[in-house]
Each structure stands twice: as structure tokens, then as C-alpha cells.
Structure 1
Amino acid sequence: MKNQLLQGKKIGFIANTAWSMYNFRLGVMKMLASYGAEIYVVAPYDDYADKFAAFSIQFKPLTCLNAKGTNPLGDYLLYRELRQILKIIRPDFLFTYTIKPNIYGLLATKSLQIPTIAVITGLGHGLAKKGILSAVIKMFYRFALKHSVKTWFLNNDDLTFFIKNNILTEQKTLLLSGEGVDIEYFRRFVPYPDDKTVKFLYTGRFLYEKGVEDFVKAIEQLKQRGLQVEGELLGFANVLNPSAIKIETIRLWESKQIIRYLGATDDVRPYLENTNCLVFPSYYNEGMPRCLLEAASMEVPAITTNTIGCREVVKDGETGYLTEPKDVSSLVAKMEAFVRLPLVYKKEMGKNARKKVEKDFSEVKILAVYLEQLIKVMHVTSS
């Protein structure tokens, strides 16, 4: 029945980067394609755009999407471009991710009558902070989300925020356990490192709001206290974001022998296998950080902030530690506590993290939700 309902159906995905679609949702798209659906990704072109062809996924580039831009003309051009692309593809169903694809994707589908699910991957600072920009985003969201079949959230705090601000009603929402992680792909195959030097790893975008500078300061203080620690940074430098940390700053930290910059990679697994603990001191209004899920799946304990999206993944004292956001002293205290843990307890934290991911965040469960929701809509539209 599932094969029959999805066979030949066109399913579109709109996002603000091809990178995020490839790294976070490739499993979903491959699963739907296995049921005979034609898959389309609509996003700005980047280094990952050409990778979709290997999976028979068609890519349609967006040229007018400026994720951080506030120019009304630019947003109108984005709306027109989306509408034009959707008129050509004519998808039977659509998923949208992040603020602008959610808002303008839904507005573009209004007259085209394309059933759409909007996925709220995090609030972002524009929406979370009080002010004119937040008020404008809320207004646009109220109007746009009227046209969604359902709106999905990655954590309960974001869902509550939307309901309390009268952006939508609870009846049209669904709470996901993040976007899931492939627990077979992210599986440890080598022993947990037992060197005397404790390695801490940060992986992700190099933004001040992700707590990268706090991490570096914490490593520096731990070294000044005479503790045998090593800090490593893994990720893309010079990302296009007002909060981006310049590569020159990273090189300066490296020259002072505070941290090591490992560069960027498409495969974080060898680095996770080689570290004792992931540190992610973000105060960015995360949806649910992928790096925390991947680390947990690899039996790596994590230290992160007691903030939306992060605290759902890490259980304080069991799978890692929670610290206060923007508080270097709190971060140092938890990192030092981890250093002083006996090796057996470090390993136990990692195993607990793996168990939690298997129970709550396995990609298999998320794929089942996608399939279930699509089947429901296809039943309605085909009857």
C-alpha cells in the first residue's frame, strides 16, 4: 500500500542550504525515494548541491535566498522565485525548513494548493529576541502557517513559544525527537581513548553564539591550572554569518597553543572516536544540535549548555554535563570535573549517551513519522 501511494509522487524539500539537506535529511529522502517517490531539493547552490544526483534526487537552485537579509525586495524576489520553481515541479507534497523557506515557501504554495509541512528547526535570534524584527517574523508566521498541513517542532520549548505567542494552535503541531541520527552509521568501533591527556572537541559552525570563544577560554584556563587537556576545533571557517569567527582568530588561538584547528570534514566519526568529550557551549536557540546526537551515538560524553534543544539531548551527570550559557567559569568547572572523573565513569557516561540516543533519537523513528504523515495526506488527497 505504501509503495502504491507514494509511487510516482513528487515530494519537494525547501531549505536555506543544500548542506543541511544533505547532512540532516538525506536518510529521509532516500527512504521516500525507495517507495517510488520523485525527490526534489530546492536550496541555494553550495558544495553539496551536486551530491544529490548520486541518489537520483533532483536539485533546483535558489538564487534569491539571503537567510540573514531583511530587505523586503529581496524577500519578495524569493517568494516569486519559489512560486516559479514550484509551478514547474508541481510537487504533490512539500516540506520546508528554517524561517524564510517556511514563510515564503508556504505563501508560494497558497494558490498552488500544495500540501505542506513546515519544520521549525530552531527559533534563531531574529524570532527569539524581542523587538521589531521578532514582531514582523511572528506576523508573517501567523499568516503563512495557516496554509500548512502541520507544523513540526524539534523541541517542546519552541512549540510552547509559538502557541504562547498565538502564532498557531496546538492542534496543527507535532513534536519530533530532533531530526534523528543514523545509529548504525554513527557507531563506535574502536576503544574509548585512555590517554593521560583529556581531549575536548568542538564541532560545528564557528560562531560566537555557538560558544566557540567560551570553549577556547575554558581550555586556556584549564591549561593554566596545570591540567593535561587538549582542545580541538573541527568545522568550516569563514561561514557567511554576522557572528562568524574569522579564520585569522582561529589561527591566533592556534599560534598561542591553546587549541588545534583540525579543518573541516564530511565525516566526523574518526574525530569523535579520538576524543574524550564533545563540548558545545551554545546559546544560539538551537532546534536540536546534530553534533550532540552524533557524539552520543558514538558513545562520547558531552558538555553543553542548559538551553533549548541542548538540554533535551544531554542528561546532567549521566551522559555528560550541563553548564550555564555565556558563563565561562561554569564551563570550566564542568570540564574540570570531567577531567577528574575516573576513566571508568567517562566510559559509562558515553555508554549512557548511546542508550539514550537509541531510545529517543534514532533516525528510524523519525523516518517512520515522515512516512506516517505522508501516507495520511496521500489517503486524504486520493480519496
Structure 2
Amino acid sequence: MRILILASLPSSLSNFRGALIESLLTAGHDVYAGAPGLLEDSATCTWLKERGVQYHDLPLSRTGLSVMGDLRALMACRRMMRQIRPDLVLAYTIKPVIWGIIAAWLARVPKRVALITGLGYAFVGQARGKRAVIRWLVSKLYSIALRRASLVFFQNPDDRDDFRNWGILPVKAKVTLVDGSGVDTTAFAEAPMPERPPLRFLLIARLLRDKGVQEYVDAARMIHETYPEVECHLVGPIDTNPDAICESEIHTWQDAGHVIWHGAQSDVRPSIAAAHVYVLPSYREGTPRSVLEAMSMGRPIITTDAPGCRETVEDGVNGFLVPVREAEPLAKAMERFLGDSDLVARMGAQSRRIAEEKYDVHQVNAVMIGAMDL
């Protein structure tokens, strides 16, 4: 069977879908991949080429609205599919799902699979001004695409239910829930805790407001009033998203001593291994991959009681759940690890257990492959 996988970020093909691609190849399928800017990502191209995956560049922007640009991308996707003649198209993230699924329908691809990995800028936050317009437009486009999908994957039940309540997901749509993108528990092996003091917290995320970066910085400021030796680390790239935090603001936080910013890291494992506790105060996720990686490496988690995030934490067992958009409860949760010297190790061991039992990437991929009838 010929399978075409469409992404918005080239590196995600190896980082997030690598194990799935390898499973499909092992099963004897021919795999093709497409993403905007893929030919410029030499590392991803090499990874795909080494495995015999044919790859294509898509003229699709990750963010922003351009009617003519997106229509050109739709036609380009359709032409590509008519050349490849795939039996199944799997698309994930907003633009590949919308334009990829519609293109697959136009190209008469038999199986058209959408993977909803989160709601994104359009649906997180208050629907006001520009965001309200974008939400309305994206909802309409999603509705058109998902009515042409033969299968829709969701990574948490809240996203599925909201899509239904908003009228985006057809009543008769075939839907399967999966536990995120999974995590390779061998590659992200349990790591020994670093010595303390100081206690080190870590947040890995694209530098967006909706990831709770501001709340993390505010909580760090509160912690430092009593515990100035505590380190709060931040890893992640500047983003082009309308919700992005500007680099000058990050440098202001750094200069004030609230956080230590490391920029984007191609391999986050050393950062996780150097930390004691992982923090993600996100407003909403599909299922946060960074949390799964930290859990797999045996780190306690502090995250929000929000869709996608709450599923990763058994409150009081492998970490703590805190309210969305509130820095003070976040700071108090962080402080609990300062008052109990054994808590980090106990909760870290539970995180590893949950990662192995629930989020192992091979288990997640087996569910997806079975649902796609491959």
C-alpha cells in the first residue's frame, strides 16, 4: 500500500512520526512524505532518504492566512497525489489536515485520515478581534475537510467533544482516540536525578503566550523571593505565530534573573536530564510531547488542569495539576518540591511507570495502524 504523510513542520516527520513511519515500512508499505520547506531541512531529508521514504516540498505556509497561497497549495497537493497515487493520506496539524484532506478527496484517494494534534492559535484563548475571525474561518474549513475524511484521530476526549459541539466534526464521522504521539521509552530512557541544591525546573515549548510561558516566568519570580538559589530553565525557539513572545522580552526576563533561556535545542534529553521537575502551564494541548518525554526520563510533572494536559498527570502521584492562567498556584506547586526532599524521586518514578504503561510509542502506533486497517 502507498501511504502519504503530510506535516506542517519537516522535523516532526522524524521526531514525532519516525516510529510510525518505520513501523509502516517494516510492514511492507511504500511511504511518502510532504511538508513545507522540507527540501531545506537536510537532516530530515537524510533521515527519510536513509529509510527509502520519498519526500516532497509543499508550497504551504505554517501560519497566517493567504487565500490565493493556500489555494495554490491545495492544487499542488492534488497534483502531487495524482502523481504518487497513494492508497491512504495521513495529515496532521491544521493546514495539512484542511488542505491535505480536501486535496486527497479531489484526487480520489481511497483513505483520507486526519490526526488532530491540538487546536492551535485559532481555538485557544478569547475569541476576540483577529482571533475571532480566524476561528470562524478555520472552523468552516475544518468542517469541509473532516466531512471528506474517512477517519479522524484525536489525542484527547476534550478536543473530540468540542469539535462535535462546535459542529465541526460530522455526527457520523469515524473517530479514534489515541494517547498522543507516544514516546520512545528506550530513546528517552530514565535518567538519574542531578544532585541538589539547586533545584532545577524546566519548561520546553515554542515561546507562545498560550504555552503558559508568562505564568512560568511570574511563578519563577515568586519562588525567587524566598528561594533565590532555585533555577528555572526555559528551552524553545522564537515563533512566527501571532501569539509569539518577542526575543527582547525573553532577554528582559533573563537579565532580571527569573529564567535561564537556552533557545531551541535539537536534542532536549540533556536539558531534561539536568532538571529535577518539568513544568508546562499550557492553556491547552493535544497531548504535550515534551511532557511525555520528561515523564519517560523519570521527571515529576507540573501542568495545567486543561484539555490534553490533565491526562498526563495523576494529581499527587506523578505531579500536580494547577489552574490555567494562574501563576500563584503554579508557584505553590513548585514550592512543594522544595519542602519535601524525597518528593522528586517518588513522583519521578511514577512518571516513568505511566509513560511505559500508557504512552509507549509502539502501543500508540499499534492503535493507529489498527484503526487505519493497515
- TM normalised by structure 1 equals 0.90
Counterpart of 1:33 (choices 18, 21, 25) is: 25
For the residues of structure 1 that align with 2:194 and 2:18, how far apart are their CA atoms? 31
Residue 241 of structure 1 is matched in structure 2 by: 241
The answer on whether the counterparts of 1:120 and 1:153 sit within 8 Å (CA) in structure 2 is: yes
Report the alpha carbon displacement of residue 57 of structure 1 after superposing the two structures with TM: 1.8
Partner residue, 2:93: 98
Q: Which amino acid aligns with 1:312?
A: E
Give matches, 1:64-103, under 5 Å: 65-103=60-98
Q: Which residue of 2 aligns with 1:43?
A: 35
Residue in structure 1 matched with residue 276 of structure 2 by the alignment: 276
Deviations 1:74-103 (A, max 9, x none): 221121111111111111211011122111
Q: Percent identity?
A: 32
Where do residues 363-382 of structure 1 align in structure 2 (5 Å cutoff)?
Answer: 363-374=361-372, 376=373
Query: 2:10 aligns to what?
Result: 18
**Per-residue deviation, 1:203:** 0.9
Moved more, 118-127 or 131-140: 131-140
Q: Deviations over 1:143-165 (max 9, x none)?
A: 22122111010000001112222
The Cα of 1:307 is off from its aligned counterpart by 0.7
Distance 1:312 1:349 in 2: 16
CA distance in 2, matches of 1:353, 1:185: 16
- 2:261: which partner in 1? 261
Structure-2 separation of matches of 1:248 and 1:241: 16
C-alpha distance in structure 2 between counterparts of 1:225 and 1:170, whole Å: 55
Aligned to 2:327: 328
Matched AA of 1:39: V
1:358 is displaced (CA, Å) by 1.3
For the Cα contact (< 8 Å) 2:118–2:287, is it kept in 1?
yes
Alignment correspondent of 1:5: none
Amino acid at match of 2:8: N
The answer for the alignment partner of 2:293 in structure 1 is 294
The CA distance in 2 between the partners of 1:127 and 1:259, in whole Å, is 28
| TM value normalised by structure 2 | 0.92
Structure 1 unpaired stretches of 5+: 1-8, 379-383
Distance 2:304 2:22 in 1: 33
Kept after mapping to 2: 8 A contact 1:127/1:138:
no
Distance 1:170 1:338 in 2: 47
Distance 1:147 1:84 in 2: 18
Q: In structure 1, give the amino acid aligned to 2:92.
A: Y
What's the secondary structure of 2:106's corresponding residue? Answer: coil
- Which of 337, 342, 345 aligns to 2:343? It is 345
Shift of 1:27: 0.6
One-letter code aligned to 2:189: R
Cα pair 1:296 1:302 within 8 Å, conserved? yes
Partner SS for 1:110: helix
Q: Aligned partners of 1:242 and 1:202: how far apart in 2?
A: 21
Aligned-CA RMSD value: 1.8
Query: Which of 107, 110, 134 in structure 1 is aligned with 2:105?
Result: 110
Distance between the aligned counterparts of 2:196 and 2:281, measured in 1? 24
Paired residue type of 1:245: I
User: Which whole-Å CA distance do the structure 2 matches of 1:372 and 1:304 have between them?
Assistant: 31
* CA distance in structure 2 between the aligned counterparts of 1:226 and 1:124, rounded to whole angstroms: 35
In 2 relative to 1, CA 261–136 (structure 1 residues): closer, same or farther, beyond 3 Å? Answer: closer
Amino acid at match of 2:320: Y
Moved more, 125-134 or 26-35: 125-134
Question: Aligned letter for 1:217?
Answer: D
